Every structure is written in C-alpha cells, then in structure tokens.
Amino acid sequence: MKWYSEAIDRRADQPGFSRNLGPPVFSRWSIHINQNHRSAFVKRTRKNIDAELLGKIVFARFLELPLQRFERLVRRLEASTEFAALRPAVIPAWLQGAQVAEDGHSRSRPAAVLGEVCKTRRGLEFVYRHASYAREYHFDEEAIKQLSTDPASPDDVAGTFRRLRLINSRSRLTHALMQAVLEFQAEYLRTGQPLALKPLSQAAVSARLRSNPALSVVADPGRLSRLVRGLAIALPSGKTIPLRGLFPTPRKLHCQYVDHMLKMEKTWLLQGLLQEPLTDGGIAERIEQEFGAYVSRRTVANIRHDLAIPDYRSRGQRRDYLAATSGFSPLVPLTRQALRSVVPPEPGVYEIRTLCGCPIEDRWSGLVEGAGSGAQPVVYIGSSGDLNKRLADHLRGSSGNALLHRCVVAGAARVRFRLIDEGWRRVERELYRVFCETFGAPPLCNRMSP
C-alpha cells in the first residue's frame, strides 16, 4: 500500500483533509490511481514471462473460445487484407478425414453443437457442423519469412500468421479428441443408452493422444478440459448431449448401475425371479455380472443412501405390488377355452399381461427387458362384477379399449385374477395405486385411474 501512503501525503496540504479518517475510503480518484498501478504492474510482469509460457497461456485461452466466436474469427481472418497478402504462402484446407455438413443442415443445430455422430456402413463418423471447425492451413515457411520482412506487406502479417497457427492447433486437437471418443464410447454413441457409457477420464484420453506421433499438439488434460467446456454434439437419434458427458467418472457410472438394479429388483420380484429384495452385496454381484464393473458393498450402500432408497429389510416390509397380488390365481392364457374352463362368472379384480406390438414408452423398458425369460409386462388392471364376461369382452375387442385389444391380439396375452364378493371396485383402486407407487407409472392400457 505504498502508493496509497504517497497519495495521502500529496493530499495532506489540501483544505479540509484529515489523516484521522479511520479506515481508508477509496474514492473515484484513489481507484484511478489503483488501476494505473495495476496496469503498470501487469506490463512489468509480462516482460518477465518466458515466451514459451506466454504462448501456452494464449493457446489455453484460445481453446476456451465459444464456437460462434471461433467461427467468426476464422471467417474474418480469411477475409482480411493480411490473409490475402499471405495467400501465396498459405493454403487453406480441411483436416485429413474430416467430414463437414452442408450449410442448410448445419444451421438447424444449436450454436454450441460441434457436429453430429452419424451411422455409416464403415461405422460411426463425426460430421462437423461448419467448415470453420475443420479448417487447417498449410504454410510455406520461407515465403512467410520473406513476406514478414517485405516493407510493402501489411503491418499485422506476423500476427495473422500466429492466429492461423492457433486455429491449426485447436482444429487438430479437436479432431483427434473426437476420433478417440468415437472409438472408446462407440456403443453409447450408437445406442444412446446411458448404461452403455464406459468410464473415461480426460487424463486417460490425454495419455492416449500424446502417444500419437501424428498429433503435433501437446494434448495435456488441462487443454482438453478447456476445449470440451461448453461444447456439445448430436447423437444419431438427434439428441444433443454435452461433450463433457462422454467423460463419466466411475462414481457416476456406479450410481447408474445401482439405480438400474434397484429398478429391476421390482420386476424380478413381480416375475418370481426373486423371493426377497437384494442386499447391498447382492446388488454388487449382479453389477459385476451384467456390466463387468467391480463395486464394493460399502459403495453400494453409500450410493443407495444418496438415492434415498432404504435397505433391503425396509424394502421387503413395504407393501408393493407383489404383496398386493399375493392372493391372485396362477397366470392362464386369455383364450376362449381358458375363459370357459377357468374363469368363473363372479365378481373380482384381474390383471392382463402381454408383450403387445403397440408402442411401449421408455418407462416400460425395465418390464419388457425380462421378456426373454418368458416374462410379460402388466398392461391392464381392472375389476368387474362378472370376470368371465368382462375378459371375454377384452378378447373380442368390445370393451371400448382399442389399445388393450391391439395388445391382446398382438401378443400371447395371459391373465390372473382374484375373486372378491364385495368391494371389488375398492380393491381395484388400491391395486392400481400400489402399482403406480411400485413402478412409477400406471399400466400401459389403463387410460384413467379407477
């Protein structure tokens, strides 16, 4: 604060000034002195920075440029008089192997989207949204030196040349990064399923890129982190995801695995594949079997706690759909013969299961995945004063539920029921409520709650 003391001394002789004003109050005049002092300090510091270090700082900031600003920079640079003067020594081109979308298609994407992953016969390919993102310049070094010393050349030829080198470095690093991601996360990019993601750190990608002799840019983790920040890509399905989402940590993937297993637990209990909920150790074993990932029992417990899911004892004591249907009959085919011989014309509640051919929303993926073992999802819950007549109406398509009829016709429908003398509508409402609480959604063909 030496500059502040000197300022106080200079103002000491002015009328009305007192040194005993308590804590210093920074007026507009003192702030101006502070800014001048900082500016002089920055200038002195820059003189002491090594040229190589300064170049790294400039390139790091250049990697953080948003896509729109980067595109405008490339277009303005190529339209400048300095670039025209360098044109005999600079040849604009595209990165080797890079694919660029047509202008009409590229404008339909958000500004932060770098490009789109496309499926081809050769596999997955990345198509850049604009030609500026895949731009590369080839230089004639001797000709550039002559232009730099030519008095007739524009003043900022050397600065333009440095900017072109920055564009080359950023484009080459971006292209190498995308090719590595396409190879490592191919399954996720192809399907879009979060469970298909593999653990991938930016440090691992950096080590892989640095071992590539064809890449002239040093791909350290800090540069990759700056580059992917704010960028996004489009999947073959059209979904846009942030580029940093392709670098999940093991902890994030473990959370997805545990959440998936706990959702499947309800289906397995419903299908009779489990007699009681899974313990934390059982969840860890199934994760290793299905995903090949080792997760400790303690990690499963911590993740389950973060997801606000109780332990297996508490889950076993909850009144879920499996407990609510404990008194139901065995599953029987929904056919005329079964209706005549098995289903009586008495009041009760029932559920219909079928692998229908009509569209099934994503919330049913957990139920449908078990179809390989003969399981079928519950598509309808109902009740009637005459079970035989009501189920026959569903079979004929005269119940007024066209979606249910299509499902019954499309798949080998099966039904189970429970006879109830009185209050069967109340039991149906309770069964419907428990189903929604257990699976998070109503049955597919129930158009409204009972």
pLDDT tens for each residue of 282-300: 999 999 999 888 999 999 9
Percent of the chain with pLDDT over 90: 31
Give the HSE-up count for residue 87: Cα atoms under 13 Å, Cβ half-sphere. Answer: 9
Residues forming a β-bridge with 345: none
Which token pair is 412?
């080998």
Side chain identity at residue 334, one-letter code: L
Residues forming a β-bridge with 297: none
List Cα–Cα distances, 348 to 339, 384, 395, 440, 443, in angstroms: 14, 6, 18, 25, 18
Q: Report whether pLDDT(17) > 80.
A: no
Other beta carbons within 10 Å of 39: 10
Q: Provide CB contacts within 8 A for 258, sequence distance 6+.
A: 283, 287, 295, 300, 303, 304, 307
Residues forming a β-bridge with 127: 99, 116
Between β-strands 232-234 and 240-242, what pairing exists: parallel, antiparallel or unpaired?
Answer: antiparallel
| DSSP letter (8 states) at residue 360 | -
Q: Which of 12-16, 69-73, 170-174, 408-412 has the lowest mean pLDDT?
A: 12-16
Longest CA–CA separation in the chain, Å: 114
Interatomic CA distance for residues 344 and 385, integer angstroms: 11
Q: Which has more confidence, 152 or 160?
A: 160
What pLDDT is recorded for position 153? 63
Q: Report whether pLDDT(281) > 90.
A: yes
Interatomic CA distance for residues 444 and 16, integer angstroms: 84
**Residues 357-363, mean pLDDT to the nearest whole number:** 39
**Residues 131-144, mean pLDDT to the nearest whole number:** 86
Would you kindly state where each structural domain of the chain is located, as residue ranges?
Answer: 54-246, 250-318, 324-439
For 393-408, write each residue's pLDDT tens digit. 999 888 888 888 888 8
Phi, then psi, of 100 in degrees rounded to 5: -125, 135
Q: Report whether pLDDT(448) > 70.
A: yes
Q: Report whether pLDDT(67) > 50.
A: yes
Helices (H), 342-401: 365-368, 387-396
**Contact in structure between 230 and 66 (CB atoms under 8 Å):** yes
Look at residues 383, 381, 388, 390 and name the one whose alpha carbon lies nearest to residue 424. 383
* 4: confidence class by pLDDT, cuts 50, 70, 90: very low
Interatomic CA distance for residues 165 and 161, integer angstroms: 6
Look at residues 218, 225, 300 and name the one whose alpha carbon lies nearest to residue 265. 300
What pLDDT is recorded for position 152? 61
Best-predicted range by mean pLDDT (26-35, 242-251, 359-368): 242-251
What pLDDT is recorded for position 376? 65
Helices (H), 64-156: 67-78, 81-86, 103-106, 141-149
Give the HSE-up count for residue 67: Cα atoms under 13 Å, Cβ half-sphere. Answer: 21
Interatomic CA distance for residues 249 and 246, integer angstroms: 10
Q: CATH classification of 250-318, choosing from 1.10.10, 1.10.3470, 1.20.120, 1.10.260?
A: 1.10.10
In which residue are the tokens 């596999």 written?
Answer: 123
Q: At what angle do helices 67-78 and 157-184 cross, to 10 degrees?
A: 140
324-439, CATH topology level: GIY-YIG endonuclease (3.40.1440)
**Residues 368-378, mean pLDDT to the nearest whole number:** 47
Interatomic CA distance for residues 99 and 201, integer angstroms: 26
Q: Report whether pLDDT(378) > 80.
A: yes
Interatomic CA distance for residues 83 and 161, integer angstroms: 8
**Contact in structure between 363 and 408 (CB atoms under 8 Å):** no
What pLDDT is recorded for position 96? 87
Which token pair is 228?
């992917």
Helix (H, G, I), strand (E, B) or coil at 181: helix
Interatomic CA distance for residues 239 and 232, integer angstroms: 10
Mean pLDDT of the chain: 80
Residues forming a β-bridge with 240: 234
What pLDDT is recorded for position 108? 55
**Residues 291-320, mean pLDDT to the nearest whole number:** 81
**Contact in structure between 444 and 377 (CB atoms under 8 Å):** yes
Percent of the chain with pLDDT over 70: 80
Q: Report whether pLDDT(334) > 80.
A: yes
